[in-house]
Structure 1
Amino acid sequence: MPLAPVLAEHPPRARLHQIQPVEAAEANERAEIRVGREVAARILARHKLVDDPALQRYVNLVGRAVALHGDRPDLDFYFGVIDSEQVNAYAAPGGYIFVTSAALALMEDEAELAGVLAHEVAHVDRRHIVEALNIRAPEASPMAGLTRFFGGATEATQVFFSQAVDRVVELLFEDGLQREDEFEADRFGVRTAARTGYDAEGFSRFLSRLSELEGARAADELSDTHPAAGERLERIRVLLQEEGLRGPEQNRFQARFEQHRP
């Protein structure tokens, strides 16, 4: 970012410590998006997008509606359905979110889809991977952070960037995030889906159905990167009760979902 426009936005007597947090936040977000874009490319190298433009458009509409009610409504989110037999969903830094065709096949209404997408949006909103890997510009020198990720010409910079992307892919497909990060994404996701106008129990219904596949490959695959469904369901049940998120007439939009599912 050129320095002059940033300075122009501040009064002439603004101190450097007043300007740097703005630059640092922007630098951090640009670094996050850059890493997330490359992670998304890696995901699409593993799994192709489902060849159904109407379905992809529909999932993007649902996902972006949910994201607008999250904690980072100004961030551009992108959603995609990937062709995979694994029941899962993935959130790369910077707002790149994918749900598998197998997960979509397990859902029964739009509220469940919104719940799953809201969970992934929460991972991005709460910057779980960003915090885990320290993808940020140093507070004391935001421009140094930009050079680190965008200076790009040196071999050391390229190696650093590639290693960061590799580690994100490992977290998504192999190691998983911290248990507390998953629980936090559950909480914030349920609240976000409810704020968007969806049945707050949609995500719970999806998890319940998944837990019924005990011993099945789909359940085993999700448990590799997530806490046990039973513990998650109990925590969500308490949240729904304590915050009064249950209601007699909640929007599920089952018919609309059925029109778009493969």
Structure 2
Amino acid sequence: MMQKIRQIIAAIVFVLSTLYICGISGFLPEWLNPKILVEIQLIPAILSASFVTVIALIALTFIIGRVYCSAICPLGIFQDLVMRLSKWIKKKRKIKRAKPHYAQANNVLRYSILLLTALFLLFGSTYLVLLLDPYSIFGRFSAAILTPIITFVNNIFASVGNAAGNYTFNFKEYHLPTFAVLSTVILTIGTIVYLDIKYNRLWCNTLCPVGTALGLASRLSLFRITINNDKCVDCKACARTCKSNVIDHLNDYKVDHSRCVSCFNCIDSCKKDALSLSVIKKRATND
């Protein structure tokens, strides 16, 4: 159930974010203003000094983990779509399912990137922040790649609608980006897609400073994925479906909560109800 709710929220966020960035959202009702989806992104909130939003996102992470990365961040949602497409293609080609895999955390690289990004920001430079910020990356991708496609479709609707006397859609002009911009965007997205298909959420869990920063809070989140070893039959379904490779099936199925993106795929994959999203209680220590 939680997986379905997360997927519905992610779909709404992704569609509205894309339409807003591409400038095709005028047909939406006034109460459905997609601009708010920009305002609830972490890095834009930090750069605009929207501390209420920053505190709210951190509080959300303390409560339920890095759900931001799988339901609010459009680049994270885009990676999920890439992974689903990749699995669908493999299924059609009857490629054998991948074996369950647990990836060790590269903490040196993760925290080095986070520290370097924070230092750039502290000294007044937003270059590295905007270069690695997932929302900025998705914005550049949408502007350079998705906007021409969506604008073309919009103009078809506008042409048909105007001919019928319906002016819901308006014609939009679009200027192609320079070769330098286009090649940079393709290289960046190509790298992320490759890492996504080859190593699952490697970008989010190692190279993205937002994911690493939220990972610090998610270590202490109130609700976390827990595994009941008494119910577990060692089928490894949860480890196989984990998009972040953070379930250590070789070590009592321990979960690295700092890299878990709270997608809840593992919960739905378990046929024995051994996994749940539960309040973590501190274990009593013996004297």
TM-score, normalised by the number of residues in structure 1: 0.31
Please say which structure displays the higher CA radius of gyration.
2
TM-score, normalised by the number of residues in structure 2: 0.29
